Every structure is written in structure tokens, then in C-alpha cells.
Amino acid sequence: MPAQTEMNFKALQLLREDADKIAQLISVQLDNLTLPKCPLYEEVLDTQMFGLSREIDFAVRAGMITREQGQQIMHDLERKLEDLYSKVLLKSLDE
């Protein structure tokens, strides 16, 4: 595997792991919250999303991944967070 594809593969793997860590962090937070309307939750999420977006932007500028690959990682994470968020909402409506 030529160096460039290897670097692309490694970068994508790292970025996906970081995205999963954010989803994991938020799902743990959500498990402990009735409604995620608490400022800390928002702040943790914003900070982590900002950090990941800077990593992705850097990887694109360094030629490690394409802009589309980067957008896909953010998009997948946002969808995961939406799922988590709606589950919490449904749960809180049931109670």
C-alpha cells in the first residue's frame, strides 16, 4: 500500500475513532440526564465538535483525506447524535 493511501487510511481511522469517542461521551451524558438541555452538555458537545472539525480541516489541508471524506465523518456523527437525542426525548415523554 503506497504511503499516501496508508496515510489516508490511518487519518480516517483516527478521525472515526475520535468521532466515536464524542458519540460515546454524549451518550453517557445523555444516560445521566433526563433532558439534555443542561448547559454543560451543550458546551461539552460544542467543544468536542469544534475540536474534531479542526482535526478534519487539518487532515484535508495536509492532503491526508478528501474534503468529502471529512464531511462524511461529521455527517455520520451528527446523525448519531440526533438518534441519541431523539431517544432521550422519547424516554422523557414516556416518563
| Number of C-beta neighbours around residue 32 at 10 A | 8
Of the residues 63, 67, 82, 91, which one makes contact with a copy of itself according to CB under 8 A: 63
Is there binding between residue 24 and a copy of itself (CB under 8 A)?
no
* Residue among 61, 57, 48 at smallest CA distance from 18: 48
Q: Where does this chain touch a copy of itself (CB under 8 A) — which range of 19-27, 58-66, 75-83, 87-95? A: 58-66
| Number of C-beta neighbours around residue 78 at 10 A | 13
Instruction: Please provide residue 77's backbone torsions phi and psi, each rounded to the nearest 5 degrees.
Output: -65, -45
Of the residues 1, 3, 90, 93, which one makes contact with a copy of itself according to CB under 8 A: 3
Of the residues 21, 42, 43, 47, which one makes contact with a copy of itself according to CB under 8 A: 47
